[in-house]
């Protein structure tokens, strides 16, 4: 129950921020607070799923420099043929010393080492 309340507070806060951005043109709200038909739930799930897929695709393109989308049709064809499609990632983090900076900061006391 705690997680449900926490989620609702987070979504409510996000809706308040969205309303600020959208102004009076739109009024986003929770689906449970609006009259809707059963089919509307499926449409909402479809919209959310499409948004998630596009977000993941954009992230993969960002991480691969566009190679993901360039090879997407090939990977889809492999999947249609019943082949297992896996992705292997490799990352490297590099840290390099750039410079030393010395500065004097005004203070009532001075320390010398």
In a domain? residue 93: no
Q: How many domains does the chain have?
A: 2
In a domain? residue 109: no
Specify whether 41 is located in the same domain as 80. Answer: yes
Contacts of 22 (CB under 8 A, 6+ apart): 28
In a domain? residue 28: yes
Specify whether 12 is located in the same domain as 45. Answer: no
Specify whether 27 is located in the same domain as 44. Answer: no
* Per-residue pLDDT, 1: 62
Specify whether 44 is located in the same domain as 77. Answer: yes
| Share above pLDDT 90 across residues of the chain, in percent, rounded to a whole number | 38
Specify whether 30 is located in the same domain as 45. Answer: no
Identify the domain containing residue 50 by its residue range: 37-84
In a domain? residue 113: no
Q: What is the pLDDT of residues 17-63, one digit of tens each?
A: 888 888 877 788 777 788 878 788 888 899 999 999 999 999 999 98
Buried b (16+ CB within 10 A) or exposed e, 84-97: eeeeeeeeeeeeee
Specify whether 9 is located in the same domain as 48. Answer: no
């Amino acid at each position: 129950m705690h997680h449900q309340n926490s989620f609702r507070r987070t979504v409510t806060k996000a809706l308040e921020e969205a309303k600020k951005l959208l102004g009076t043109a739109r009024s986003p709200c929770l689906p449970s607070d609006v009259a809707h038909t059963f089919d509307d739930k499926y449409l909402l799930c479809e919209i959310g799923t499409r948004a998630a897929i596009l977000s993941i695709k954009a992230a993969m393109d960002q991480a691969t420099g566009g190679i993901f989308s360039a090879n997407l049709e090939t990977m889809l064809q492999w999947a249609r043929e019943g082949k297992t499609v896996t992705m292997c990632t490799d990352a490297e983090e590099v840290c390099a010393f750039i410079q030393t900076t010395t500065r004097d900061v005004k203070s009532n006391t001075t320390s010398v080492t």
